[in-house]
Chain A
Amino acid sequence: MTKGSDPLRATVRNHIRSLRFAASEMTQQDLANRIGVSRQTLNAIEGEKYSPSLEVAFRIARVFGKPLEEVFTCQFEAAPPRKRPK
């Protein structure tokens, strides 16, 4: 990163909900059990309130038999400029 530049803000999105429904309407609890997290954590991931570790992200992709980028996407946008001291 160039010194003084503002980093891009990354927003991680996912298609887990639609993939679950496509996979014989798999429940959150089923998927949570298969990837080793609680149902509440999976719900937070689906609701984009929590970005999972790479390990959990790969486990989710593996359950659906999809590459990672078909389950998770990342959108970059410019962060609002920081206030600089006068």
Chain B
Amino acid sequence: MLPSFEEKSVWVQLIGLVVVFAGYFGISGVMLANGVTEMAPYVSLFAVAIVLLVVVQIVGHIAAAVIGKPEPRDERDRLIGWRAESNSSWLLATGVFAAITGLLFEFEPVWISHVLLASLFASEALKLVLQIVYYRRGV
């Protein structure tokens, strides 16, 4: 059975997120390794990543809508979304806790911001993966 529009949308979001943020963290990792600790270059890189992410999402959703007719979310889509969110939010909470700990130990802002960003990315990616698992395996 072909996936629903909602499931295709989840795939588009996951692929876009992983591709764009793999690029972002790859480049920023090299910058951090080379001792770049000012925020300005990272902010520019992040802005480019966000624009790319939006473009990938728009193109992906247009392609998904062309392949199959978009349908509104129904109760199963909502349940899957809630359950995936509930089982992935701990990653973001862990990142926030790590960032607060980093602040207490006076880590540089660039590290704090990347811990927060990485936890946000990981939490969102886990949520999308769980949604796909629930669509395939059942809830």
> What's the minimum C-beta distance from A51 to chain B, rounded to whole angstroms?
9
- Is residue B43 within 8 Å, beta carbon to beta carbon, of the partner chain? no
A38 and B71 form a contact (CB under 8 A): yes
Which residue of B is nearest A40, CB measured? B4
- Is residue B85 within 8 Å, beta carbon to beta carbon, of the partner chain? no
Residues of B within 8 A of A (CB-CB), count: 16
Q: How far is the CA of A39 from the CA of B74 in the complex (A)?
A: 10
Q: How far is the CA of A50 from the CA of B4 in the complex (A)?
A: 15
Which residue of A is nearest B2, CB measured? A40
Residues of A within 8 A of B (CB-CB), count: 14
Residues 42-75 of B at the A interface (beta carbon under 8 Å): 71, 74-75
B7 neighbours in A (Cβ, 8 Å): 40
> What's the minimum C-beta distance from B1 to chain A, rounded to whole angstroms?
6
- Is residue A23 within 8 Å, beta carbon to beta carbon, of the partner chain? no
A40 neighbours in B (Cβ, 8 Å): 1-4, 7, 76, 135
Chain B residues close to A by CB (< 8 Å): 1-7, 71, 74-77, 135, 137-139
